[in-house]
């Protein structure tokens, strides 16, 4: 797999579909999240191109050590078991269409690029503080989170759930923001030079993050990145990926 024409920073949104070979429990958990959030996505990750400042720097997550390489793309994302991890984009893609994992679904990307104004030509010029967002992602490596907060963004808008939370003064843990959408939102805040708002970040689902990026931050909306069925690669976006 070869990548090309990628912006320096973007988000990846995952939408799983049912597969006889995949674990049913994982699929149903993702489906519940999508139903509650009225979303096409159950997971989001952050992909950043490594700035020259971090070339050769060793970093460690709960899966092992990685020596960073300037110019290479790395995927940062939250897992229920390992917390925030780092993986090269190529490895992450190849892992999805592994015949042993049997994953099925689509992956979309939302580029952190400014949308052209009326009458302007579309361009791929990146904006934002890549170095700061990359450093923020590195600092979060290995952070884990309580499983109970994974579904919080999916249910916190429900009136009954909000009543229970208020009645018993239940508040989510705001110290780490290590599940996928809150981690991605804070990284977006860092990238855009915004004030860090943990209260807002922990309430966003992947779908709500996508909408905020598009409507408020004026990012380009999501585009299809690739599609996989039962561990077999069905299609890729030729603008960004080439199968060797």
71-130 pLDDT, tens per residue? Answer: 999 999 988 788 899 999 999 998 888 777 778 889 999 987 766 666 665 555 567 899
- State residue 104's pLDDT score: 86
Residue 19 and residue 229 in contact, taking contact as beta carbons nearer than 8 Å: yes
pLDDT band at 176 (very low <50, low <70, confident <90, very high): very low
- In 17-72, where do the E strands start and end? 43-49, 58-61, 64-67
Residue 146 and residue 173 in contact, taking contact as beta carbons nearer than 8 Å: yes
b/e map of 82-104 (b: 16 or more CB within 10 Å)?
Answer: ebbbbbbbeebbeebbeeebbbb
Task: Report how many helices (DSSP H) and strands (DSSP E) the chain contains, helices first.
Answer: 8, 11
Topology annotation, domain 2-242: endopeptidase fold (from Nostoc punctiforme) (3.90.1720)
pLDDT band at 174 (very low <50, low <70, confident <90, very high): very low
Distance, CA of 197 to CA of 33 (rounded, Å): 23
Distance, CA of 244 to CA of 241 (rounded, Å): 10
Sequence-distant (6+) residues with CB within 8 A of 152 are 172, 202, 203
DSSP structural state of residue 40: S
Q: Return the SS3 of 164.
A: helix
Q: Return the SS3 of 48.
A: strand
> What value, to the nearest 5°, has the Cα angle with vertex 3 and ends 70 and 244?
125
4-15 pLDDT, tens per residue? Answer: 989 999 999 998
Q: Where exactly are the structural domains of the chain?
A: 2-242
Q: Is the dihedral of CA 22, 105, 84, 205 positive or negative?
A: negative
Asked if pLDDT for residue 62 goes beyond 50, the answer is: yes
116-169 pLDDT, tens per residue? Answer: 666 665 555 567 899 999 999 999 999 886 555 555 555 555 555 555 556 656
- In this prediction, residues 50-74 reach a mean pLDDT of 97
20-30 pLDDT, tens per residue? Answer: 555 555 555 55
Q: Greatest CA separation found in the chain? A: 57
pLDDT band at 237 (very low <50, low <70, confident <90, very high): very high
- State residue 163's pLDDT score: 59
Distance, CA of 134 to CA of 86 (rounded, Å): 11
- State residue 14's pLDDT score: 92
Mean of all residue pLDDT scores within the chain: 81
Asked if pLDDT for residue 224 goes beyond 90, the answer is: yes
């Amino acid at each position: 797999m070869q990548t090309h024409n990628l912006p320096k920073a973007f988000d990846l949104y995952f939408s799983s579909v049912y597969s006889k070979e995949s674990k049913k429990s994982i699929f149903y958990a993702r489906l519940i999240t999508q139903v509650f959030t009225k979303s096409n996505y159950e997971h989001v990750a952050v992909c950043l191109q490594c700035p020259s400042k971090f070339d050769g720097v060793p970093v460690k997550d709960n899966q092992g050590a990685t020596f960073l390489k300037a110019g290479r793309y790395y995927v940062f994302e939250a897992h229920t078991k390992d917390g925030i991890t780092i993986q090269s984009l190529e490895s992450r893609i190849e892992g999805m269409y592994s015949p042993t994992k049997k994953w099925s679904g689509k992956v979309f990307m939302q580029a952190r690029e400014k949308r052209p104004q009326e009458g302007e030509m579309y361009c791929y010029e990146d904006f934002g503080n890549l170095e700061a967002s990359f450093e923020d992602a590195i600092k979060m490596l290995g952070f884990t989170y309580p499983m109970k907060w994974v579904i919080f963004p999916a249910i916190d808008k429900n009136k009954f759930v909000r009543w229970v939370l208020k009645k018993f003064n239940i508040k989510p843990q705001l110290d780490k923001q290590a599940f996928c959408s809150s981690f991605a939102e804070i990284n977006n805040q860092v990238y855009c030079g915004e004030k860090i708002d943990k209260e807002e970040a922990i309430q966003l689902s992947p779908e709500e993050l996508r909408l905020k990026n598009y409507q408020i931050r004026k990012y380009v909306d999501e585009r299809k990145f690739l599609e996989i069925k039962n561990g077999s690669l069905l299609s890729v976006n030729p603008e960004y990926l080439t199968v060797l």
